[in-house]
A and B are shown apart, each in its own frame.
Chain A
Amino acid sequence: MLRLPRFRYLRPKTAREAAHMARDLGPKAMFVAGGTDLYPKLKRRQFEIEALIGLDFLDRRIDGDTIGAGATLADIASHAGVPRGYGQAAGLVSSPPLRNAGTAGGNLCVDTRCNYYDMTYEWRKAIGFCIKKDGDICLVAPSSPRCWAVSSSDTAPMAIALGATVVLAGDDGEREAPVAALYRDDGIDYLAKQPHEVVTEIRMPVDARTSSAYVKLRRRGSIDFPIAGAAVALELDGDVVDSCRIVLSAVASHPLEAAAAGEFLAGKRLDRDVIQAAADLAAKPAKPLDNADLTHFWRKRMVRVVVEQAIQEAIGAGGSTVKLAGQ
């Protein structure tokens, strides 16, 4: 049986207080919201901390274009007011019990994943610790100086595609930043925010002209993290694309924007060939490695498929014959 380590649990009443605590304690403390990813990782000693700073003061309301960072993924998935793709992404995270606990803010900040890293302490010790925790080399790419753990948030790519921003509260005030600016292409330091800053709010421009969709690839219909995913948000002028953003999940250490594909689509009429060409372009920057489920060759091949499906889904065109697990 894997047991939680001993830790102190702190309950600040405001984000400013939480940020203070975090600044004081430094790397000895972590924030916890839903805890669905954090607690299992504590059991596996992937995080070693002395204190958890609870974020249960966070607003859980979903109100117009503002989503409290404490809103659960289940609430987002069933809320009619959020952009469709964002609701889809939230609804495809893990399983119903975990969506009831997991939060909007937590899913944006969720740790990167790697199957050399998401294992028990004993397993990691036996195979040789990796650079992300306790070791000094990357076991996926031993000649590389960096960590290649995979960004595995479903909602982050969608939030970026939709041009969402986050409100970050520090101990000396608040600032607003694009969701895209929250991430760094690094498996270890994957978040670009200050460690003591708390995500308190997600601001999602709600525009009736924008249609969006998120398509997720995973082995099973439930529970699994993405092994490839595509978030698409586009504005149509009649049947011509005005603008389009495509962001991929689980193919890099950060949510990967396929900018070339988005630019390619602007001004184009969406037919089968155009969608396929865009999907080919979108798949180019994806570099899945051998650190997630199934082979990376196949996952790379599947990026095209999920992008195609997400574009079709966004414009409400069916026509896909492939049924992905759980969708």
Chain B
Amino acid sequence: MVSKLAMITGRPVKCTLTREEVFYAHRGRHPVLMWVRTGVTRDGLITAMHFKSALDGGAYGSYGVASTFYTGVLQPITYDIPAYRFEGCRVFTNKPPCGPKRGHGTPQPRFALELHLEKIAHDLGLDPAEMKRKNFVKPMTRTVNWLRVTSCGLEECAQKVLHASGYGDRKRLPGHGMGFAISSYLSGAGTAIYWNDMPHSEVQIKVDRGGVTAYCGAMDIGQGSDSVLAAIVAEQLGLQPKDVRLVTADSDTTPIDLGSYSSRVTFMAGNAALEAARKMRLMLVEAVEAAGRKYEDVKFEEACVLAEAKFGTLVSAGSYTPPKIAGPYKGSGVGPSPAYSYSACVVDLDADARTGLVHINKVWIAHDVGRAINPLLVEGQVEGSVYMGLGEALMEEQEFRKGLHKWPSMLEYKSPTFLDVPEMETFIVETDDPEGPYGAKEAGQGPLLPVIPAVNAAVYDALGVWIDETPVTPEKIVEALRRKDKGEPARVGPTRFPDIPYPACIKVEPPPKDLSASPAEI
């Protein structure tokens, strides 16, 4: 609309929304009601899981179908679940429409799954963190729902945060608690929302008498994707990032990139940049060696002169298309990704029994990003995720009253201020993914996910009550403690899951677990 108006008027056009309009027009996270049943051995090994979800979709479809699948597909990507059944549905309601938001449909089931496993561990008399670790997926395996796990730093992430926080040796004091949770997320969806066989990302490089320009459609929305592109091209050519000129996010001049969503840009545009830069490097090396010299021994400008003299105008192009690894069943397109990031988190908090007030003391978080091309940006993404996760855990909630959003304003819809953010300790774990550019995976969404269940688990650790929903407000804690004192179940949260006439499940044989064994169907 803005583009069209700019074309008609020949003037710059800007569209601004009030906070209230944002609430009505944006696609917020789906509220999801969930039901989980898990089979475990006495030692806490998972034997099977049945997961049901029901999403409150709001008034329109958005990406709701994908979101619905996402509430079911990533459970087996962190825990080895030999048999798995998932049923999901999404209902239309007279509210603002919901869609993908940081974690696209997976923070909700992650919340349910992590708390569910905590409860199982308590029932079995096991340490929750140890029980979860026993069930971690291993690198280079396939999950029961045909997802391909390549690099996986889950165990290393868990070790980092458990060790640094002293979780295992924590003092058990009333009112003080620690919670542990893990998660995983996709480095870009393996199946594009645009249904065709063309690449998801393309990069062109031009070398012109010493000047390097990279063209890419990727949009830097503040996450720093420009710096990643420059770093990858510079690394291949033996330059500094500042030596690479970038032309990005202009559909007039740059080749296609599907966009900044789905945690895909570093992985996919990065791989396209890497391919283009490798091709350029080959030309430069060939020209230098034809002159009887070594690439390492000549100045870059000199190499360019030699190459341009030999080949004419120097251009190269690279592109990236994710591998077709979806399982042989309908709906398998949601979930596959060329690589998965992994995170683990420990939250330390004080929870006051009289008032229900929670004070977060510290958060430890480790994130397996494969390889940190720009460590500062990775830390920024991880810490921003902790901030946002704590907001979702403790404050954010879209409430409705008389059919209207209850408080659609900056002031009344609470998200944390600087003063509400605790100390954080961030660990970057590098596992060198075989398919990521220089081994890199995503960092933009995954680290948010473990923060929320870790808060609820820590509240249980502190006070012995479960808040089985978000946000964890003081009044819910007070109410759960009241119920506990009366001998009722010591929890606040949904009490039933409706009978939903789900369609019959599609049964799928699991693939060979070992990634080196190729399944006949692929």
Contacts and interface: CB of A to CB of B under 8 A. Distances in A.
B414 A293 contact: yes
A221 interface: yes
B355 A115 contact: no
Nearest to B16: A1
B357 A324 contact: yes
A119 B412 CA distance: 9
B502 interface: no
B402 A127 contact: yes
A220 B420 contact: yes
B357 A222 contact: no
A221 B394 CA distance: 13
A94 B359 CA distance: 20
Interface stretch (B294-302, B363-371, B473-481): B473-481
B473 A122 contact: no
A118 interface: yes
A133 to B, nearest CB: 16
Contacts of B417: 95, 220-223
Interface of A is mostly: loop
Nearest to B17: A1
Contacts of B194: none
Nearest to B414: A219
A223 B411 contact: yes
Interface string B192-233: 000000000000000000000000000000000000000000
Contacts of B18: 1-2, 120
Contact of B419 (A115, A222, A301, A321): A222
B409 A322 contact: no
Contacts of A326: 419
A2 B21 CA distance: 11
Interface string A308-327: 00000000000001111110
B356 A321 contact: no
A123 interface: yes
Contacts of B409: 118-120
A294 B355 contact: no
Nearest to B14: A1
Interface in B405-440: 406-409, 411-412, 414, 416-420
A100 to B, nearest CB: 17
Given A127-B404, A224-B411, A294 B20 contact: no
Given A1-B18, A219-B414, A293-B414, A321 B352 contact: yes
B354 interface: yes
Contact of B408 (A123, A223, A322): A123
Given A127-B404, A220-B416, A322 B411 contact: no
A298 B350 contact: no
A117 to B, nearest CB: 11
Interface in A180-214: none
A223 B475 CA distance: 21
A302 interface: yes
A295 interface: yes
A123 B401 CA distance: 12
Contact of A322 (B20, B352, B419, B475): B352
A220 B414 contact: yes
Contacts of A95: 417
A220 B401 CA distance: 23
A91 to B, nearest CB: 13
B98 to A, nearest CB: 20
A7 interface: no
A325 B352 contact: no
B447 interface: no
Contacts of B16: 1
B420 A122 contact: no
A294 B475 CA distance: 8
A80 interface: no
Given A127-B402, A325-B419, A305 B355 contact: yes
Given A115-B406, A120-B20, A322 B357 contact: yes
Nearest to B412: A115
Nearest to A119: B409
Nearest to A298: B475
A227 to B, nearest CB: 11
B88 interface: no
Nearest to B411: A223
Interface in A116-141: 118-120, 122-123, 126-128
Contacts of B179: none
A295 B475 contact: yes
A9 interface: no
Nearest to A218: B414
Contacts of A298: 356, 474-475, 478
B485 to A, nearest CB: 15
B277 to A, nearest CB: 43
Nearest to A124: B404
B499 to A, nearest CB: 31
A323 B359 CA distance: 7
Contacts of A322: 352, 354-355, 357
Contacts of A1: 16-18
Contacts of B234: none
A294 B419 contact: no
A280 B486 CA distance: 23
Contacts of B412: 115, 118, 293
A222 B411 CA distance: 11
Contacts of B354: 305, 322
B395 interface: yes
A14 B416 CA distance: 42
A219 B411 CA distance: 11
Contacts of B97: none
A322 B353 CA distance: 10
Nearest to B421: A221
Contacts of A293: 412, 414
Nearest to A295: B475
Given A219-B395, A294-B473, A323-B350, A122 B20 contact: yes
Contacts of A324: 357
A220 B419 contact: yes
15 contacts: A95-B417, A119-B407, A120-B18, A122-B20, A123-B404, A123-B408, A220-B395, A220-B417, A222-B418, A223-B411, A224-B411, A225-B411, A293-B412, A301-B355, A323-B350
Across chains A and B, which 4 residue pairs bring their CB atoms closest together, nearest first? Answer: A221-B419, A298-B475, A1-B16, A222-B417
Interface of A: 1-2, 95, 115, 118-120, 122-123, 126-128, 219-225, 293-295, 297-298, 301-302, 305, 321-326
Given A2-B18, A220-B414, A221-B419, 14 more contacts: A1-B17, A95-B417, A120-B20, A120-B409, A126-B404, A127-B401, A128-B402, A223-B411, A293-B414, A294-B475, A301-B355, A322-B355, A323-B359, A326-B419
